[in-house]
Structure 1
Amino acid sequence: MSSKLLRGTFILTFGMVLSKLIGLFYVIPFEALVGAKGSELYQYAYIPYTLFISLATGGLPLAVSKFVSKYNALEEYAVGQRLFKSGLKIMMVTGFAAFVLMYISSPSIASFVTVSKSQNFTVEDITTVMRAVSFALILVPFMSLIRGYFQGHQSMGPTAVSQVVEQAVRIIVLLGGVFIVMKVMDGSLVTAISIATFAATAGAVGSLAVLLWYWKKRKDDIADLLVKDKGAVQISLPQIYKEILISSIPFVFVGIAMPLFQWVDTLTFNRAMANIGQAKMSGNALGILNFSAQKLVIIPMTLATAFAMSIVPTVTKAFIENSMDTFSNQLNQAFQILMFLTLPAVIGMSILAKPVYTAFYGYDALGVSVLETYAPAAILFALFSVTAAVLQGINQQKFTVLSLLTGILIKLALNIPMIEMFHTEGSIYATTIGYLAACLINMYIITYFTGYKYKMVIQRTLLMAAFTAGMALVVWGAEWLLAPVLNPEDRMQSVLFTVICAGLGAVVYFILSVKSGLAIQLFGRRIERLQQKLRLKF
């Protein structure tokens, strides 16, 4: 990989991670201001908004990035420029159409999720917050395409900076607006959450301003490239868009996998809870499930997926070159890194559900129970992302659509009966079974087309499970010893409780993995350098 591309990848990854961190930790003051009811109302708007964004963009920004990069390599700069200009027009149209569609359909969606008068919010309340966030759809697709264009030119800085600015502006407007409404004006919760969701539009404006600044700064360089255009390739825009349509649909499905599962809950959860006489608490439970707990559950998978996905390009290269031994070795590495990082993290989070949830949101018995059950599912979320990326690498991405649709259908079929049997946790069981089915299909397709065997991964995962069990015993022991001293139901004490227990667990897992040689096999010299820096001898 060239130093320029490596630097660009690092910048983009750093920007994404920083943006996600900002988007994670704002929930602490946000929850303190609006409570569980506010989180419930917020997720009613944000999950459909995520789906409408995917509908509006249709994978075009990523496709533009790939095509601009491809034709720039051929010195056919004008082709990428034509695609970019036409793409901007399309994004303006689809963005506005998505806005109109969401704005108009909000009352219908709201009435579908409101099944009882004993719920916390009315159809009008949910409609108001959905319409508040819908305005962002006018700008976000247009903005995303500009990011894709810069990435196609191997310029990752504009995307990284604009992502961070977008998130920062959104959070500042969100928290500032909510604080003013709730604490200064003594306004209604619906007004506060409407401002919180509208903050997505403010974030998009901030991001777009950054991108336009970069465009103004670099337009002369782009003009110089057009002068050097060879002009040997004559390809029509309809031909390009046909290829884009075929290749981008699987990417769209992968991107909306989790929102789709959450959308099933949004549409069915309240109804199922009403069926068993739990309509009054259903809204609060749904807010915990789809917002509060979900924010925490995705933490373990984020870093693990990033590490594993970094190996996928090498896996793809080996497959294209028909170097199947290298392909198997690299895929073994990707899956093992994924399990090595995710398995102890999710089990640790499940064990420490009470202090972890309390540290972020304050103590809530239902929240603790949901997080305890939900955390292990993150393994499947991460596995789906990596297997989908591998399918893309071996040019079998169409099967990702099949696996995801299968998972969603299973979720749809099981969700209501599972919720009626197990209440809130039933939804988690339905999600887990759906994701498991999707992952198994992806894994089977990988084996079918490449002959890859999972024997090594299974063996190593069993070893990691043994280390995780050892870690879990230490964490349980630490919990037992700390319980008389620190109260995990107190917010400040729960932070210290979590740091001590999680720290001990991480040290035990690290020592076991290094002494066994597993960590060095997976991460090589990075572990040895870490040992040297910390002067550790095992």
Structure 2
Amino acid sequence: MSDQQLIRGTMILSAGIFMTKMLGLIYIFPFQAIVGLEGLALYTYGYTPYTVLLSLATLGVPLAVSKFVSKYNALGDYRTGQRLLKSGLVVMSATGFFAFMVLFLLAPLIAGHVLDPDSLDGNTVDDAVFTIRMVSVALLVVPVMAIIRGYFQGHQSMGPTALSQVVEQIVRIAFILVLTYLIIEVFNGDLGTAVGFATFGAFVGALGGLAVLLAYWYRRKRALDQQAAESAEDFQIPLPAMYKELFRYAIPISFVGLAIPLYQTVDLLTFNPAMLDIGYTLEQAEQYYAAFTQASHKLIMIPVSVATAMSLTILPTITNAYINEDNERLHRTITQAYQIIFFLSIPAAVGLAVLADPIYTTLFSAEDVDVGGYILTRYAPVAVAFSVFAVTASLLQGINRQMYAVIALSVGVLFKLLTNQLFIGWFDATGAVLSTGGGYVLAIAVNMYAIGKFAAYDYAVIWKRLLLITGFSAAMGATVAYIYAGLTRWLSIYVWTESVMILVITVGSGLVVYVYLSYRSGLAGMVLGERFPGLKKE
């Protein structure tokens, strides 16, 4: 497969991921308008443990299967990949059913821990149990999708994965918004019922994604069977040996994929109790929890998605250069990956922090801006850490040192676990943000050390570019803050139309400042010139 084809496939997959994440961001606005922050908190109580169980049930299967199938396809053995798919469907169905049973049965225990059974305000334990059990049903379907996606990716076909992800998200969101609106606004149902059915949307969406994958399978089945029948080799690998090799790929990948869910699980178990200990009511704690784990989190994932999608287009080159010991190309590509991440995520984080209140009012509601804007201002810088961790973990996979990413993740999560309640006690809700940010910084330090050691990479150039990007972002942020302060003398962030006007003027001004400084200094050309030659300063 040529580099051009590989990059094209990665671009298709990245586009699917980006579209899926953007849809996941957009729907949260009308959803919160229907259920409020209290309903958003209840939704998170169900989704966070589901995400962890899903990661454990799938164990990084899509990428691991992709590696396995592509390896044996390259050796001329197409039968082994088909054997893996057939047996894997049975295995993933079993692990999915096991994960479903675990989450379904543990729902009362989880709900009882995050909510006070004696509290009369906020969400009830029964509501949380119902929500967790409704979302658990999706575990019966999603692991099966994972192995089919991995199989297609192993054949260098990214379209099925990308399209199935988008369809899954569209079906899920449509189900969530229609059902919650009908239950609350039309039938005057209670919040717990509406949110429970909203989480059931994960199962309905999964059926939509599975239907797309099965359609691809039936359309290509004859060609795939013929390809297997004409295999030049048939290694007849025993199933135990096959799965041993598969899990050797999958386990490190699955742990890295658990990064954000693990951090959010710590918050799920400790955030509300810690806030109650320092005098907040349960209803207040849930408002801060929802703003932190859902509303603000969705917003900061925008720069993370863009940066990660762009950097993924050059990651295949990392593996190729490393295997062929082409150190010059390896180092050049690593530098480009770092530059893209910093160039996009740092100014985006600065903008989100400075304009948190009007952004929150515009996209969510003025009613909750005092909580949501407060959290977003403090959480926005962590977007940079999310971006850098994702890319450094991918770089380590490219140079076959993924276990260091697992070590880094373990260090970061341990820090989060040890400090979350302590920091909340010291800094209230801001403490959870500081704990997450601190854990990611430690994890990134481990990743960057491993890349420097095993890829023999010198960070001197990156530190210089980082200093330049930070300086330009600070200049942009100062300009935006000055204009914002002036505008708020005449315009109110609590009025939607005026908040939109503030954003249009300030975001436009900040963009002009950052682009101008980046272009005039030659930074934009150095970072993006290979993709956009017009940015190279003459």
TM over 0.5: yes
Q: Does 1:493 align with 2:498?
A: yes
User: Match for residue 41 of structure 1?
Assistant: 42
C-alpha contact 1:88 1:142 (8 A) present in aligned 2: yes
Residue deviations 1:330-363, cap 9 Å, x none?
A: 2122111111111111011100001111111112
8 Å contact 1:15–1:163 — kept in the other structure? Answer: yes
* Structure 1 residue aligned with 2:466: 461
Tell me if structure 2 keeps the 8 A contact 1:133–1:201: yes
Q: Structure 1 residue 99: deviation in Å?
A: 0.5
Conserved 8 A contact 1:388-1:442: yes
The yes-or-no answer on 1:203 pairing with 2:205 is yes
The separation in 1 between residues aligned to 2:389 and 2:3, in whole angstroms, is 29
Determine the structure 1 residue equivalent to 2:421.
Answer: 416
Q: Which residue does the alignment assign to 2:81?
A: 80
Is the CA contact (8 Å cut-off) linking 1:119 and 1:283 kept in structure 2? no
Paired with 2:383 and 2:7, the residues of 1 have a C-alpha distance of 28
Match of 1:113 in 2: 114
For residue 481 of structure 2, what is the aligned residue in structure 1?
476
Contact 1:384–1:439 (Cα < 8 Å) also in 2: yes
Q: Are the equivalent residues in 2 in contact too, given 1:60–1:87 (CA < 8 A)? A: no
Per-residue CA deviations over 1:105-135 (Å, capped at 9, x if unaligned) read: 0001111112461551222111010001000
Are the aligned partners of 1:289 and 1:370 in contact in 2 as well (CA < 8 Å)?
yes
Q: How many residue pairs get matched?
A: 533
Q: Which residue type is aligned with residue 203 of structure 2?
A: T
Cα deviation, 1:457-491, whole Å, max 9, x if unaligned, reads 11111111111121112212221332234322222
| Aligned: 1:345 with 2:333 | no
Q: CA RMSD in A?
A: 1.6
Contact map agreement 1:383 1:439 (CA 8 A) in 2: yes
Do the aligned residues in 1 keep the contact of 2:528 with 2:535 (CA within 8 Å)? no
1:109-165 Cα distance to aligned partner (Å, 9 max, x none)? 111112461551222111010001000000010112111111112222221111111
Pairing partner for 1:354 from 343, 354, 357: 357
1:426-461 per-residue CA deviation (whole Å, 9 max, x = no partner) reads: 000011111111110111122222332211111111
Instruction: Give the letter for the 2:517 counterpart.
Output: L
Aligned pairs for 1:272-311 (under 5 A) are 272-280=274-282, 281-311=284-314
* 1:258 equivalent among 257, 260, 284: 260
Deviation at 1:492, TM superposition (A): 3.0
| 1:368 corresponds to which of 360, 370, 373 | 373
Aligned to 1:521: 526
d(CA) in 2 for partners of 1:143, 1:321: 34
* Corresponding residue for residue 441 of structure 1: 446
> Counterpart of 1:52?
53
Task: Work out whether residues 112 and 125 of structure 2, in 8 Å CA contact, stay in contact via their aligned partners in 1.
Answer: yes
Name structure 1 gaps, 5 residues minimum: 532-536
Contact 1:519 1:527 in 2 (8 A): no
1:63 lines up with 2:64 in the alignment: yes
Q: What residue in structure 2 maps to residue 534 of structure 1?
A: none
Gaps of 5+ in 2: none
- Alignment partner of 1:386 is 2:391: yes
Within 2, Cα distance between the matches of 1:487 and 1:310? Answer: 42
Residues 302-351 of structure 1, C-alpha deviations (whole Å, 9 max, x = no match): 11122223222222322222232332222122111111111111011100
Please tell me the residue identity of whatever aligns with 1:31. Answer: Q
- How do 1:165-244 residues align onto structure 2 when only pairs under 5 Å count? 165-244=167-246
Q: Distance in 1 between matches of 2:342 and 2:535?
A: 21
Distance between the aligned counterparts of 1:18 and 1:476, measured in 2? 31
Given the two structures, how large is their TM-score scaled by the length of structure 2? 0.96
- Partner Cα distance (1:379, 1:476) in 2: 20
1:526 Cα offset (Å): 4.0
* Residue type of the alignment partner of 2:110: I
Q: Give, in whole Å, the separation in 1 of the partners of 2:481 and 2:99.
A: 49
Pairwise mapping of residues 307-318 of structure 1 onto structure 2 (< 5 A)? 307-318=310-321
**Per-residue Cα deviation, 1:158-205 (whole angstroms, up to 9, x for no partner):** 211111111011011100000000110000000100110001111011
| Structure 2 counterpart SS, 1:187 | coil
The code of the aligned residue for 1:267 comes to L
Q: Does 2:333 match 1:330? A: yes
Q: Please tell me whether the aligned partners of residues 127 and 196 of structure 2 are also in contact (alpha carbons under 8 angstroms).
A: no
Tell me whether 359-368 or 303-312 shows the greater mean CA deviation: 303-312
Instruction: Give the Cα separation in 2 of the matches to 1:256 and 1:498.
Output: 34
Cα offset for 1:223?
Answer: 1.4
- Aligned equivalents of 2:16, 2:504: Cα separation in 1: 26
- Aligned-residue sequence identity (percent) comes to 45
Matching residue's letter, 1:369: Y
The letter of the residue matching 1:174 is I
SS at match of 1:117: coil
Q: Report the more deviating stretch, 152-161 or 317-326.
A: 317-326
Structure 1 residue 525 displacement after superposition: 5.1
Q: TM-score, normalised by structure 1?
A: 0.96
AA aligned opposite 2:53: F
8 Å contact 1:27–1:360 — kept in the other structure?
A: no
What secondary structure, in the 3-state scheme, does the structure 2 residue paired with 1:514 have? helix
Runs of 4+ in 1 over 4 A off after TM superposition: none
CA shift at 1:285, angstroms?
1.1
Compare 316-325 and 399-408 and name the one that shifted more: 316-325
> Quick check: 1:24 aligned with 2:25?
yes
Aligned AA (1:351): V
Give the equivalent residue in structure 2 for 1:95.
96
What amino acid does structure 2 have at the position aligned with 1:237?
A: L
Aligned partner of 2:467: which letter?
Answer: L
